[in-house]
Amino acid sequence: MIAKINDLLKIIFFLLLSVCLIWQSLQRPRVLVVQSYANDFSWTREIDNAISRTLAPWHYEVRHFYMDTKKRSSDKFKKQAARRVKKQIDNWSPDVVIAVDDNAQSLVSGCYVNVEALDPAEVVKLKQRLPALGECYRRHSTMKIVFAGVGAEPKDYGFSGQGHIGGILDPVDAKFLSLSLQEVKNQLAKEQLKIIAPVDDSVTSAYNLKHSLRELARELKPLAIDIEYPVMVTLADWQQQIQQASRQGDLLLFTLYHTVRCRADKGSRRIAPRDLIRWTLANSKIPAIGTYGFFVEDGGYFALGVSPLEQGSEAAKMAVDYLELGILPGEQAVRTTHQSIVYMREHRAEKQGFDLPVVYRNFARATGNYLKGCQQKKGACRTTRVPDLDLYCRS
Question: With 50 as the cut, is the pLDDT of residue 371 above it?
Answer: yes
CA distance 395 to 391: 6
Average pLDDT over residues 319-345: 95
Give 240-263 pLDDT, tens digit per residue: 999 999 999 999 999 999 999 999
Average pLDDT over residues 220-248: 97
Closest to 263 (Cα-Cα) out of 73, 35, 132 = 73
Give 144-160 pLDDT, tens digit per residue: 999 999 999 999 999 99
- Whether the full predicted model's pTM is greater than 0.75, yes or no, is yes
The per-residue pLDDT for 380 is 47
H helical segments located in 148-272 = 174-187, 203-210, 212-220, 235-248
Least confident stretch, 22-36, 95-109, 141-155, 329-343: 22-36
HSE-CB of 132 using CA atoms within 13 angstroms:
15
Question: With 80 as the cut, is the pLDDT of residue 106 above it?
Answer: yes
For residue 54, how many other CB atoms are within 10 A of its CB?
19
The per-residue pLDDT for 76 is 92
Listed in sequence order, the residues at least 6 apart from 340 whose beta carbon sits closer than 8 Å to its beta carbon are 173, 176, 177, 304, 305, 306, 307
Question: With 70 as the cut, is the pLDDT of residue 383 above it?
Answer: no
Question: With 50 as the cut, is the pLDDT of residue 387 above it?
Answer: yes
CA distances from 150 to 78, 279, 310, 331 (A): 17, 29, 13, 18
Q: Which domains does the chain have, with CATH numbers?
A: 28-170+309-336 (3.40.50.2300), 174-306+339-394 (3.40.50.2300)
Give 18-52 pLDDT, tens digit per residue: 444 444 445 699 999 999 999 999 999 999 999 99
CA distance 234 to 108: 28
- SS3 for 14? helix
Average pLDDT over residues 75-83: 95
Average pLDDT over residues 315-323: 98
Average pLDDT over residues 270-277: 96
Long-range contact set of residues 238-244: C-beta below 8 Å, sequence gap at least 24: 238/198, 238/271, 238/276, 238/280, 239/279, 239/283, 239/389, 241/196, 241/198, 242/198, 242/280, 242/283, 242/284, 243/283, 244/196
CA distance 170 to 149: 5
Q: Enter the DSSP assignment of 152.
A: S
The mean pLDDT value of the chain amounts to 91
Give 168-177 pLDDT, tens digit per residue: 999 988 998 9
